[in-house]
Amino acid sequence: PGMKIMGALGKIFNSVWWFMGFQHFAEAVVENPDFVQRMFDKIATIQLDVLDRILAYDEVGAVIHADDLGYSEALMISPRHLRRFLFPWYKELVDRIHAKGKLAIFHSDGKIDAVMTDVIACGFDAVHPFEPKAMDIVEMKRLYGDRICLMGNIDLGYTLTRGTPDEVVAECKERLRVLAPGGGYCLASSNSIPEYVPYDNFL
């Protein structure tokens, strides 16, 4: 009783460049931006149709939109291009989620601190997963912890995958000690749990 489903919405940014191939996409952003805009518009429209179907269910309490904008060192494209092609669509999807009284969660791998204020401005309630090698979650909490919930950061590079259960417990307790005060932190892994995470570590 009272349990809710977290719906998962498909990708927009990733789908565009997957369809085009990244080199072609990166060139077209500069040389043929009108075509790139049409790609974003088409894919986002499809994803918003999917979102409306998800939101029709009262059992859904939140929707997570996973769209990887970066890798461990940087964003994949310039913030100005994301602001032109992508973030207006994020604002639309968040508005639809909130209109149904549900929470909007954003997932992106990699280093996205250069656009954190944009993600917040789109209206997302939480962001995930803050890979330790890519982002300093303590600094993100200091800068943005009063504006958005932070999720994740339990290390998949070592602790969850190759560490001991005691090391996992210690890391979880440390994250809670530093990040939980004042609210706005959700304990979670720094990405999806792969099959090679030992079961005892997961527990």
On average, the pLDDT of the chain sits at: 97
∠ CA 155-5-122, rounded to 5°: 70
* Tokens 């970066």, located at residue: 70
For residues 134-169, one letter each, b for 16 or more C-beta atoms within 10 angstroms of the residue's C-beta and e for the rest, the string is bbebeebbeebbeebbbbbbbbbeebbeebeeeebe
The tens digit of pLDDT for each residue in 108-152 reads 999 999 999 999 999 999 999 999 999 999 999 999 999 999 999
Rg (CA), the chain: 18
Residue 64's pLDDT is 98
Closest CA to 131 of 173, 159, 105, 103: 159
Q: Rounded distance, CA 137 to CA 194, Å?
A: 22
Residue 1's pLDDT is 87
Whether pLDDT at 65 is above 90: yes
Q: Rounded distance, CA 81 to CA 18, Å?
A: 17
The tens digit of pLDDT for each residue in 89-113 reads 999 999 999 999 999 999 999 999 9
The tens digit of pLDDT for each residue in 141-185 reads 999 999 999 999 999 999 999 999 999 999 999 999 999 999 999
Residue 5's pLDDT is 97
The single-letter code of the amino acid at 122 is: C
- % of residues, the chain, pLDDT over 70: 100
Residue 10's pLDDT is 93
Residue 182's pLDDT is 93
pLDDT band of residue 25 (cuts 50, 70, 90) is: very high
